[in-house]
Structure 1
Amino acid sequence: MRASATKLDLPTIPPSVLSGIVEIGVGEGRDVDRWFAGTGIAGPAALSSDSIKVSFRQAVSVVRRAVEDMSEAPLGMQVGGRDILLSMGMLGVAMRSAATVGEALSIGLELHQASGSLMDLELECATEAAALRLHERWPEPLILRFLCEEILCSTILFVRSVVGADWAPERVELTYPAPSYTRRYERFFRCPVVFGAEANRAVFPTATLALRFPTRSEPTRAIAVDACRRMLDVGAVEPDVVAIVETLLAQHLRYPLTMGAVAARLHITERTLRRRLTEAGESFSAVRDRVRRQRATALLRETALPIAAVAHQVGYSDIREFRRAYIRWTGQPPSAERR
């Protein structure tokens, strides 16, 4: 389907995560070239190019093969546990130059894909506790453990590198079963780890967001943030404006962007965006519905999430409104899609 191709097949992801996997695979004596067969990436040597970017589908194909090849290894922890400059690159520089943990996380939430991230992130805040919540960009149960380990380990190492090596979250919640190397989780996270939870997240005191960074540098932050944005081509309007709108909407499904917000991110007026979509034979509402429908259908088919949770994932707080929308999109209710 069109939206699947535009969202998942566009080469927009820096290959830093793949480079980390290859480095570990080579060290383990694995045939890493086999991981790239048929992906369209010209082998592991291609990852060293400064200009290369890969698509989500390409990255997932390589990760899946690596995870299958090293099924008992804590591969995600190994990749996420590397030096911050290796795992986060320029994004790490931008975040280290922020004033506080909260500001650093805001930068990370906006630009996390500059580090090659393959999940989407959300900050949940309450009076006493906050949480960094991880969301799959597309259901990939075979590599979920890897994806969560990589992001959580790199993020926690980042915080420790700035505020102190003793920092630890209050608890970590993970939806998947405990792996064979659970003790490694305990040693790294230094907090209770709950498996089989309803969400993937790291919970920490809300006061952590106010912790100040001794590495703060406003000029460095501005330069690094700009570099990350240019790396992701944020604000660049390509000929296929439909693909760009789909990508932006897909990245913010839980809290949907308005047409005005999308136009602002593209540095054009709402009127110009409407005109360009019309010229492409599309409307903003049609693109938004298509992105929501395809994400909802994938979640209904590939996961065991309750229908109410699926509704929330695609931006509906009212399950009845979601059911009506799904019937309008597909001619059948969500429950029928699941069956």
Structure 2
Amino acid sequence: MTPADAAIPPTLLSAVVAIGRQAGLPVSAWFSGTGLEPGLLDDVDVRVSLDQARTVLRRVVAALPDRPLGIEVGARDALLSFGFVGVAMRSSATVGDAFGVLDELHRASGSLADFIAEGLDGDEIELYLRERWPDPALLPFLAEEAFASTIAFLRSVLGETWTPTRLFLSYPPPVYAARYERFFRCPVHFAADADRLVISTDVLGSRIPTHHEPTLRTALAVCRSLIAPARTRPGVVAAVEAMVNAHLHRPLTMAEVATQMHISERTLRRQLAEAGDQFGAIRDRVRERHATALLRHSTLAISAVAAEVGFSDGREFRRAYRRWTGRTPLAARASADGSQA
């Protein structure tokens, strides 16, 4: 996966947008030129690239320089911080099992950094933070969020009074350093050689009261599908797909999409060509996918399906659907019903 591939759930971006709105800031400006817009982040199918996420987060950090944004984001409930990964963690049998889920599937949570656990054979375990693509401007935010979300999960299982042993951070103390001590409630060492959280190995065997195997299996399947290679595509393609999908009733033109992405139509065409795609092909792909789902899983009349994907003329829709799939809408519905297509 490259920094331009859209494979990351926009969990962190959604969280900072909410904080920005509460602060009364013009959050849309954070997305200028990225191919994203705040309204797209709530779509369950939207994925962002590392480049897109880093661009937005740099602007967020610059706009709110004196706030512990990562702690604010990470201190939320695990189901908000980790999404379906949080469901799987909460459904695991022990804390150690939950950490195993996090180790395998943390990318499905929208994380922009990785954890490496060391010292499992001793009395302490060290959770090292590793940036995928080092960015000094974002390190404090990423470290705060990663360590705070881990602490929040552990306190939800072990009790609010639980504390880690030590926290080491490789950057100088920020202006709000006192907030670290209030939240983590353990010795915090800045300007360290690495970013790592130290906890007692004893916690790994702690039972999780919400353990439920059927929920765990379902959540693991969902998380694995979220990071499947087939879902990965260039960020500009993913952004265009999301915008087209959000306006199926009245399909957007390429110029309109470019305007929403805060770039020129020429730039959008060039970026799509570099990604090996074209606007018309993306629009057809999104419309065909939605139309096929409606034909297979709804009882809408074919004329209504046509309207749902932006066709005012049923005959035009039938011609387009045959061009996309090689068969008629009626044949697609009959096939879904188990009839002779």
Match in the other structure for 1:106: 100
Match of 1:173 among 168, 172, 178: 168
Instruction: State the shift of 1:29 in Å.
Output: 0.9
Matched, 1:17 2:12: yes
Please report how far the alpha carbon of residue 67 of structure 1 lies from its aligned counterpart in structure 2 after TM superposition.
0.2
Corresponding residue number in structure 1 for 2:88: 94
Q: Which residue number in structure 1 is paired with residue 314 of structure 2?
A: none
2:155 to 123, 147, 160: 160
How far residue 83 of structure 1 moved from its aligned partner, in angstroms, is 2.4
CA shift for structure 1 position 228: 0.4
- Which one of 115, 122, 139 corresponds to residue 121 of structure 1? 115
Structure 2 residue corresponding to 1:48, chosen from 42, 45, 59: 42
Q: 1:73 to 1:206 in 2, by over 3 A?
A: same
Distance 1:218 1:83 in 2: 21
Structure 1 residues 61-101: Cα deviation after superposition (integer angstroms, max 9, x where no partner): 00000001111111111111222221111110100111111
Unaligned runs of 5+ in 1: 1-5, 241-339
Describe the superposition over 1:225-257 as per-residue Cα deviations: whole angstroms up to 9, x where unpaired.
Answer: 1110011116x59899xxxxxxxxxxxxxxxxx
Q: SS of 1:73's equivalent?
A: coil
Matched residue SS, 2:92: coil
Cα distance in structure 1, aligned partners of 2:44 and 2:28? 20
Residue 208 (structure 2) aligned to one of 200, 204, 213? 213
The answer to whether the 8 A contact 2:6-2:233 is kept is: no
Residue 132 of structure 1 corresponds to 127
CA distance in 2, matches of 1:238, 1:59: 15
Please name the residue that 1:75 is paired with: 69
Match of 1:29 in 2: 24
SS at match of 1:141: coil
Task: For residues 266-292 of structure 1, give each alpha carbon's deviation from its aligned partner in whole angstroms, at most 9, with x where no partner exists.
Answer: xxxxxxxxxxxxxxxxxxxxxxxxxxx
In structure 2, how many angstroms separate the alpha carbons of the residues matched to 1:53 and 1:31?
22
Counterpart of 1:56, as a letter, is L
Quick check: 2:117–2:127 contact (8 Å CA) kept in 1? yes
Displacement of 1:45 after TM fit? 0.7
Q: Distance in 1 between matches of 2:78 and 2:94?
A: 17
Q: Which amino acid is 1:22 matched to?
A: V
Aligned to 1:146: 141
Find the residue that maps to 2:139 and give its secondary structure. Answer: helix
- Return structure 1 stretches of 4+ with deviation > 2 angstroms: 236-240
Inter-CA distance 102–182: structure 2 relative to 1 (3 Å threshold): same
Structure 1 residues 190, 91: closer, same or farther in 2, change over 3 A? same
- Quote the Cα distance in structure 1 between the aligned partners of 2:52 and 2:99: 27
**Identity fraction in percent:** 48
8 Å CA contact 2:90–2:210 kept in 1: the answer is yes
CA distance in 2 between counterparts of 1:60 and 1:139 reads 11
What SS does structure 2 have at the residue aligned with 1:123?
strand
Tell me the CA shift for residue 114 of structure 1. Answer: 1.0
Q: Report the Cα distance in structure 2 between the residues aligned to 1:103 and 1:122, rounded to whole angstroms.
A: 15
Structure 1 CA distance for aligned equivalents of residues 66 and 45 of structure 2: 33
Instruction: For residue 115 of structure 2, give the secondary structure of its aligned residue in structure 1.
Output: strand
Distance 2:175 2:184 in 1: 16
Match of 2:195 among 191, 200, 204: 200
Q: Partner of 1:8: helix, strand, or coil?
A: coil
Distance in 2 separating the partners of 1:212 and 1:36: 42
The amino acid of 1:17's aligned partner reads: L
Distance 1:104 1:85 in 2: 13
The range that moved more, 121-130 or 101-110, is: 121-130
Tell me how far 1:144 sits from its aligned partner. 0.3
RMSD: 1.7
3-state SS, counterpart of residue 172 of structure 1:
strand
Structure 2: gaps of 5 or more residues: 235-341
What's the TM-score once normalised by structure 1's chain length? 0.67
Judging changes above 3 Å, is the alpha-carbon distance between structure 1 residues 109 and 238 closer, same or farther for their aligned structure 2 residues? closer
Q: Provide the rounded CA distance (Å) in 2 between the counterparts of 1:28 and 1:230.
A: 35
